[in-house]
Structure 1
């Protein structure tokens, strides 16, 4: 806890965390209500998948642009601008909800626009974190960020469930207001270390440097691809609206709490990490928690008990919290400052693939095989993936301390 107080003495860390909290609560309200709203209109699990795909595609198409922009221009201003675009998307959904839609198409267009904003926002905002405190305090910044994001992922879904009863348009309006409140804090941040901006022109080769760095750095490739494949197949959270209605038979408020269960599990684990942070056997711990994540997903898929489903989500999200903390520390520590934006953009595609594309995969699988097989089967595959990474990525498995992770030295000419 003393480490946390020491990091919080930096005003920019406090501003960054405040912006994160407001934006993340708004984002969780947005996603909770959007998925539930669409499922209530169409009753089709596949439509949840289409929403996930619409949010993912912009990150994939813009990966070469978004990373270069984050490295070339002021990351604070880029983050602010695209946070405002998020606000516009929320207001658009207010109008859509009040028109009483019967089709998924308006939601897909807004999800595509929201995904475009996130594709440009996230690399710039994530690559600010290593610059707001001294490098030796960066793991503590990540711990505080994950705790903040986790608390928001409890508050947001619970609020979303309650507000949804008042009307989805009200929920979208609240989500937009929170995004708007989060934006100014980004402009007030002052970097502890200067942003080393890329000076090259926006050529294809310059933009692809992030992809090349990930490919030639085994520990970075292993860390972010583990998240990609694990959550791609174990992404049960996207199907919670269908599980709540078809498997558990609960209403909107109970759905909101179920959607908050992952945040509760992550919050408990955040407290554990604050008291006893991961300091040794970092690599093996990452592999084990991914396997536990898969096991929790299997249980969530086969149960028809609300209590068991709730506990399973708590367990799997607690494991994912440890994974997020470890990966969130490894990747920036292994990346040079002037490439943080481009590498963050590549990582964003991997994360988007695991979350939004994972939602699409889950929706397709649920439509083809039914909810239990789609969720439990994905969890079993996740466990196999964790085992295979232990075999094929010894660089990751052998990481003992965070201090062992450093950017690669330039090759002598």
Structure 2
């Protein structure tokens, strides 16, 4: 195996990398199936607006455990065996996907059942993130850690790009197929975790509770204007302009398609994100990174406005590709700025704040889109969201001039930690 990158030559790391890839793929495929199924069930007896509200409720349900439990899950990942936490989380997801698959196959599925299971899915996602994210550092030698983290990020990001598309296409076979496919992937991830032998994990001091740690992270973010601007820009732009949450409505009611069309549309942002990720892997940004992030969010908003009014499947697909690519550029710059402008000893706590922000923008963005669609219809909901994202760009360019002035990824001087 000499041809493999050095971390992947280590058996424990190969098992970890496989577990991270499979678990994230399964998670995203399952969530995509949940979104589509909620809307199709609701539409059997409800109007488009009422069904859209039920669809948005899924995002809110998953956000609640993320909001309340993320600080505690991060603390647990520093004080308990991370393998054990990850195993518990994936076991919860296995039973969640299995329950949805069986209920769907037997015709016993209903919105209350999906909502109850979605709560457990949210809890499992809370536990998975910090434990899996920090596990690589316990497996490889210190000198290989940068390479190991990069490979771990590739597994996670690749799965977040491919997972929704896979889930969407499996729906064309049947909804239960998507769920049972997720079960198989989760089982594979769990087996991989059991293949990880003893790890060298240094437990943190239990006297410092999670609340104090998160408060310190929030204080640092509040005082570091560049980091605060980068995190909040993504939070409000995606919170307002989450067009992906409306795809079940557009696929079925606006374009008159079924699961196969939903799969194509759900894959479109992944196509754009993949293309952007590959481009920046070959030609990374070096100049005017803050300005380019602001422009990317602006393009994200404008493409969302175009998506709202498009009645051509081909144009809609193209606009979704642009949405995915521009969002990837924004994520790429934001993540790099946060990592490189934050002292190493603060990255974990700042990462917790960033995780809450991402959860809020994604899950609450879905809820906001569903609510707006229930009030104004899907077209106006997408239009208002896109306009909101554009307004946020102009506002943040004024409120946070530090973003416009961020020329590259190198901090002008070392940032003192609190």
TM-score range, shorter chain: 0.7 to 0.9
Q: Distance in 1 between the 2:65 and 2:255 partners? A: 34
State whether residues 153 and 262 of structure 1, in contact with CA within 8 Å, keep that contact through their aligned partners in structure 2: no
Residue 361 of structure 2 corresponds to residue 354 of structure 1: yes
Instruction: Rate the CA distance shift 1:9–1:113 in 2: closer, same or farther, 3 A.
Output: closer
Q: Which residue number in structure 2 is paired with residue 66 of structure 1? A: 73
Deviation of 1:9 after TM superposition, in Å, equals 6.3
CA distance 1:7–1:255, shift in 2 (3 Å): farther
Could you report, residue by residue, the CA deviation over 1:176-210 in whole angstroms, capped at 9, with x for unpaired residues?
Answer: 22123224545767999976834534264345333
Contact kept? 1:262, 1:313, Cα under 8 Å:
yes
Q: 1:129 to 1:219 in 2, by over 3 A?
A: farther
- 8 A contact 1:55–1:111 mirrored in 2: yes
Q: 2:35 touches 2:55 (CA, 8 Å); kept in 1?
A: yes
1:36 match = 36
Is the Cα–Cα contact under 8 Å of residues 119 and 345 in structure 1 kept in the other structure? no
Distance 1:344-1:394 versus aligned 2 partners, 3 A rule: same
1:253 to partner: Cα distance:
1.1
Note the C-alpha offset of 1:394: 2.4
Q: What SS is found at the alignment partner of 2:113? A: helix
In structure 2, relative to structure 1, the CA distance for the partners of 1:19 and 1:249 (3 Å cut) is same
1:252-298 superposed Cα distances (whole Å, 9 cap, x missing partner): 11211111111111111111112111122222221111111111111
Task: State yes or no: 1:254 paired with 2:269.
Answer: no
Q: SS in structure 2 opposite 1:402?
A: coil
Q: 1:313 to 1:208 in 2, by over 3 A?
A: same
- Bigger shift: 153-162 or 227-236? 153-162
Determine the structure 1 residue equivalent to 2:306: 299
Gaps of 5+ in 2: 44-50
Q: Which sections of structure 1, spanning at least 5 residues, go unmatched?
A: none
Superposition pairs of residues 234-245 of structure 1, within 5 angstroms: 234-245=241-252
Alignment equivalent of 2:279, drawn from 260, 265, 272? 272
Q: CA deviation at 1:395?
A: 2.6
How does the TM-score come out when normalised to structure 2?
0.86
Q: For the residues of structure 1 that align with 2:367 and 2:97, how far apart are their CA atoms? A: 22
Deviates more, 1:324-333 or 1:29-38: 324-333
1:91, CA displacement in angstroms?
Answer: 1.7
| Other structure's SS at 1:208 match | helix
Matches within 5 A, 1:186-197: 197=204
Does the aligned pair in 2 maintain the 1:86–1:114 contact within 8 Å?
Answer: yes
Q: Which moved more, 1:163-172 or 1:224-233?
A: 163-172
CA contact (8 A) 1:42 1:103 kept: no
Match of 2:215 in 1: 208
Shift in Å, 1:122: 1.5
The alignment status of 1:18 with 2:25, answered yes or no, reads no
| 3-state SS, counterpart of residue 410 of structure 2 | helix
TM-score, normalised with respect to structure 1: 0.86
Instruction: Write the mapping of 1:86-235 to structure 2, written as runs, cut at 5 A.
Output: 86-101=93-108, 103-128=110-135, 138=146, 141-142=149-150, 148-149=155-156, 151-153=158-160, 155-185=162-192, 197-202=204-209, 204-235=211-242
- CA RMSD for the aligned pairs? 3.2
Which digits, 9 at most, give the CA deviation of each residue in 1:311-369, with x for residues without a partner? 00101101111122222223333445555444333222211111111001000100111
CA distance in 2, matches of 1:162, 1:98: 18
Count of residues in correspondence between the two structures: 407
Displacement after TM superposition at 1:88 (Å):
2.1
What does residue 85 of structure 2 align with?
Answer: 78
Give deviations 1:358-383, integer Å, cap 9, x for gaps: 00100010011111110021011101
Contact map agreement 2:265 2:317 (CA 8 A) in 1: yes
Matches of 1:193 and 1:83 in 2, distance apart? Answer: 22
Deviation of the 1:149 alpha carbon: 4.5
What is the rounded CA distance, in whole Å, between the counterparts of 2:310 and 2:54 in structure 1?
23
Q: Tell me the SS of whatever aligns to 1:315.
A: helix
Distance 2:180 2:259 in 1: 19
Query: Structure 2 vs 1, CA of residues 227 and 190 (structure 1 numbering), >3 Å: closer, same or farther?
Result: farther
Would you say the 8 A contact 1:22–1:182 is kept in 2? yes
Task: Map 1:382-393 onto structure 2 (within 5 A).
Answer: 382-393=389-400
Cα distance change of structure 1 residues 321 and 156 upon mapping to structure 2, 3 Å threshold: same
Q: Is 1:371 equivalent to 2:378 in the alignment?
A: yes
What CA deviation, in whole Å up to 9, does each residue of 1:92-142 have, x standing for no partner? 212332342464111111111111111222133334568868799859955
